[in-house]
Amino acid sequence: MCWYCGYKDLSECRRIARKDVLVRKLVRVSENPNKVVSYFTEFEYELGKTYYDSYLSILNANEPHLAACIFVGFNSYSTECKIRRKERTTASGEKKKYSIEVYSPDGREFIEWYEPKDLLLMDCVIPKGTTYYINELGECVSERIKPIRITDAEK
């Protein structure tokens, strides 16, 4: 997965957590009891355990039309993002599976939607002192993350 800054200068998105920062992550139930797996990378998480990625690599784009991006780390969404669970309707009016839709903090910019019904929302913290990046859409990537509880999206 790749996280995009949206700015040429990546330093505009870089932060050091002055306190634990609450974020949200999309996950599914794991075959392993008491664990969940991330939606994109299938990384397995256990609640209460802190995870560290020492390979937070950064690529500053050389092309002026490209944004800086980060290829590793723990992706999540700011708690300011609007995350809603919805029942989708087909063109024929048939009700379909639930989906999760993610919008920017102001609610105007649609970021993504996820179709699998088994998706869960997990509250995590980016621990104090951790380097993390947040873009204008509220998407985050961090070198450390600690899952704390499973929640659900707004309906």
Distance of alpha carbon 137 from alpha carbon 104, whole angstroms: 5
**In the beta sheet, which residues pair with residue 125?**
22, 146
Half-sphere exposure of 45 (CA within 13 A, CB side): 30
pLDDT in tens, the chain (155 residues): 567 676 666 778 889 999 999 998 888 888 887 789 988 788 999 999 999 987 665 554 444 445 577 777 898 888 887 777 777 676 777 766 566 777 777 777 666 666 666 778 889 999 999 989 888 888 888 999 999 998 865 54
13 in Cβ contact with 143 (< 8 Å): no
Element (H or E) spanning 83, and its range?
strand 82-89
Distance of alpha carbon 112 from alpha carbon 4, whole angstroms: 14
Residue 105, classed as helix, strand or coil, is: coil
